[in-house]
Amino acid sequence: MTERSVSIVIPTYVATAEGRDLLDIQLDALARQDYPGEFDVVIADNGSPVDVRVHIENHQVRDRLKLQYVDASGRSGAAFARNVGAGSATGEVLLFCDHDDRAYPSWISRMVEFLDEGYDLTCSAIEGDSLNADHPRLVANIPAPDQFQPLGVYAPVIIGTSMACRAEVYRKLGGQDVSYAANEDLEFGWRAHREGYRLGYLAEALVAYRYRRGFRPGYRQGRSRGLGLARLNGEFPKNGLPEIHLPEVLLRMIRLPFTRGLVAEERGLMIGLAVGQFRGGFRHHTMHWI
């Protein structure tokens, strides 16, 4: 494997001491990577009420990790934080993960190795079991790695929680679209594909993904995703993802509050997704009436 200089960008919004602890779990995981080459970690702080700067400057993993704090509070959103972090990164390969997940020890090695198979932008599968044993989803589970990518889509679906991109490509594309509240990673990937760059999907779970807890966080996440999906249908027509049909969306909005067997977070997620698609379908003129 070719050893390349790597910068890991983590968009971060830490609202509580618990959230700070989750960041520590991710940083500890990155300090345990088996990658033999050089890498650094850029913490792009998206306006956290907790003082992340002081926390990073005095962090116990500094003797094992090269850490850099950057202020990314100019605009709310993961896309903006990723762009600010990428602007401060020095590595020839940019890796992106989230502050509340946990990378596997081989994450950097496998992502760089896969990128060097001839791609410009890649992502890996993730898993939702190991960090959610005490509050698993019952219906809206993350699919198995070999089922993660839907068939017949416009291009591979890129997810920001485990993403690798050549730094020069990221900058040539102008980074991620900050006007997306969610699905900005998917839009970035499809825009890269449209511009002729090579996308790849590694069907190997390399990151443990942490679910939101409770109805309200799930609802907010689902609503943002629904709005983003509706917009993507307008900007990338016939993209292979499900179209938005008004009768079906209304039926979901009516049934989901009374559907048995859902934990609070996934009920919120699924209702929020339907609400987001409803609003976004009209806003972006991608709603089908029948």
Evaluate whether residue 1 is within a structural domain: no
CATH number at residue 165: 3.90.550.10
| Single-letter amino acid code for the residue at 159 | I
Question: Residue 28: is it exposed, middle or buried by C-beta count within 10 angstroms (0-12/13-18/19+)?
Answer: middle
Residue 50 maps to a domain? yes
Q: What are phi and psi of 103, to 5 degrees?
A: -80, 140
Q: State both tokens at 272.
A: 């929020």
| Tens digits of pLDDT across the chain (290 residues) | 678 899 999 999 999 999 999 999 999 999 999 999 999 999 999 999 999 999 999 999 998 999 999 999 999 999 999 999 999 999 999 999 999 999 999 999 999 999 999 999 999 999 999 999 888 888 888 988 888 888 889 999 999 999 999 999 999 999 999 999 899 999 999 999 999 999 999 999 999 999 999 999 999 999 999 999 999 999 999 999 899 999 999 999 999 999 998 999 999 999 999 999 999 999 999 999 98
Q: Which of 208, 234, 260 is the last residue of a domain?
A: 208
Residue ending a domain, choose from 208, 224, 241: 208
Structural domain boundaries, residue 187:
6-208
d(C-alpha 29, C-alpha 86), whole Å: 21
* Alpha-helix runs per DSSP H in 176-214: 184-194
